[in-house]
Amino acid sequence: MSNNKTHKITPPTVADSPMWDRLMGNYNFACLMVSAQLDITGLIEQGYDTCKSLSQKLQLSDKGMRFFLLVLSHLGHICYDNHRLKNTELSQSYLSKDSLYYWGEVLLDPFHIYNVNHLDKKILTSLEREYELECKGRSVTDMWQNNDMDSESAAAFTHLMHSQGFASAVTAVSNGIFAEVQCLMDAGGGSGAIALPFCDSYPKRKAVLFDLTPVCAVASEYVQNFGKKEQVRIVPGDFFTGSWPEGCDGICLSNILHDWRPETCQFLIDKAFAFLPNGGHLFIHDMLLDETRLTPSLFCFHLFMNHGSQLYSTDELNEMLEKAGFEDTQCRRALGYFFVVSARKPQVS
């Protein structure tokens, strides 16, 4: 203080624990990333179920491993049973390499999307000017929009998006959201995260996986691995400039619109309306913006920093759908923060 006036020092009126929570929160995802790199979940499944056996197997500090495992237990990924480590259901679902819903492609972060190093500078940069996520020195958004994604980058992004979206997609299908559809187009479908569970739930129905050529090469592996070659037709193409494959009475845009600005989203919704037959359905599977909740707000800002885009609220999506001519808009929960907003193209009387 620069003056000589005596000030009475009074205690604060609110605890500083939230400040500590935010500070230490930087370690939460970083610890999960390290857990994936070390495959802690897999090692515990193999029988390395004590701190000592893990540290010896990995040739790491026993004391450090004890503290690290304590963090993983607080995050809900491991627990102790008679002094033996066990993977929780959360860990078995999302950190086990044998799980359909393995998040390893996210946690290993090949594009450094979630790297916390210099994150403050990235935030400031995005507030000063719109930031673009880059891959090999080029804008990822431009690569998608201009149909100019190389095979290696397309494969990495497809695996990444599958890890993030498959669990919610399977849940959405199991909830009967697509029950009225006979042939579903998974537009910009990547791995077929929607098409695969749709065909699994409805063995006599068909799906079309429509995406860029380098993505389709990766998608064919997923379709083969899930045994859906007879039901899923893979069609390469560009949903911005090209024609869409015929014969579908339903279209799903799964984790698509959050990558684009409103005018682009409206363009895609308008195009879907023109393409669908009368009575056909459009489905938007995505996390929705809820300004009262932290994680959707953070993800919305994350999208802005990486693509200049955003999450959309139910009201915003409904407005776009109604502007295109759709009716009977509905919003149904999929999994966690994810929902499916649906609408129907009117029947002609």
CA distance linking residue 115 with residue 134, whole number of Å? 13
Q: Where are the beta strands (DSSP E) in the chain?
A: 78-81, 84-87, 134-135, 138-139, 183-187, 206-211, 232-236, 250-254, 281-287, 327-333, 338-344
Q: How far is CA 23 from the centre of its chain?
A: 25
Bridge-partner residues for 344, per DSSP?
A: 281, 327
Torsion of CA 30, 89, 82, 68, to 10 degrees: 0
> Token digits for 251?
């279209």
Say what the pLDDT of residue 1 is. Answer: 47
CA distances from 67 to 45, 51, 144, 188, 340 (A): 20, 10, 42, 43, 40
Q: What is the 3-state secondary structure (H, E, C) of 309-340?
A: CCCECHHHHHHHHHHHCCEEEEEEECCCCEEE
Bridge-partner residues for 117, per DSSP?
A: none
> Which string of b and e fits 146-169 if b means at least 16 CB within 10 Å?
ebebeeebbbbbbbbbbbbbbbbb
Q: Which residue has the tokens 């979630």?
A: 114
> Taking phi first (over 0 means left), then psi (-120 to 50 degrees means alpha), and beta for anything else, what does residue 120 get?
alpha
DSSP string of 214-241, one letter each residue: HHHHHHHHHHHHTT-TTTEEEEE--TTT
Task: Indicate if the alpha-carbon torsion angle 201, 91, 26, 48 is positive or negative.
Answer: negative
Torsion of CA 288, 149, 235, 275, to 10 degrees: 50
Neighbouring C-alpha atoms within 13 Å toward the C-beta of 113: 22
Domains assigned to the chain: 17-99 (1.10.10.10), 119-344 (3.40.50.150)
The per-residue pLDDT string of the chain (349 residues; one tens digit each, 9 = 90 and over) reads 455 667 788 778 998 889 888 888 888 888 999 999 999 999 999 999 999 999 999 999 999 999 999 999 999 999 999 889 999 999 999 999 999 999 988 888 887 777 777 777 777 777 776 555 555 555 566 666 566 667 787 888 899 899 999 999 999 999 999 999 999 999 999 999 999 999 999 999 999 999 999 999 999 999 999 999 999 999 999 989 889 999 999 999 999 999 999 999 999 999 999 999 999 999 999 999 999 998 999 899 888 887 888 999 999 999 999 999 999 999 999 999 999 999 999 987 6
